[in-house]
Amino acid sequence: MTKENSKSGKTVTVTLVKSINGTRESHRATVRGLGLRRMNSTSTLEDTPAVRGMINKVSYLVKVS
């Protein structure tokens, strides 16, 4: 993260709560793009429209806080 991004302080925490087994390949790639590896793994990301779109796509697999 650059200093400009860290100053804003807008972050979102995403947790993988459902297995990616049996899901579409594009959804698996999206989960990996969010930085989630296995069940109950958590990632803190910058709150941007791109990240929000990724979360929207796999909302049935993740929990956002």
Regarding beta strands 42-46 and 62-64, do their DSSP bridges make them parallel or antiparallel, or are they unpaired? Answer: unpaired
Domains in the chain and their CATH numbers? 3-64 (3.30.1390.20)
Q: What percent of the chain is modeled with pLDDT above 90?
A: 86
Read off the pLDDT of residues 32-51 as tens digits, 9 standing for 90 and up.
Answer: 999 999 999 999 999 999 99
Residue 2 has pLDDT above 50, yes or no: no
Annotate 13-41 with b (16+ C-beta within 10 A) or e (fewer): ebebeeebeeeeeeeeebbeebebeeeee
Contacts of 16 (CB under 8 A, 6+ apart): 31, 36, 37, 38, 39, 40, 41, 42, 61, 62
- Does the predicted model carry a pTM greater than 0.75? yes
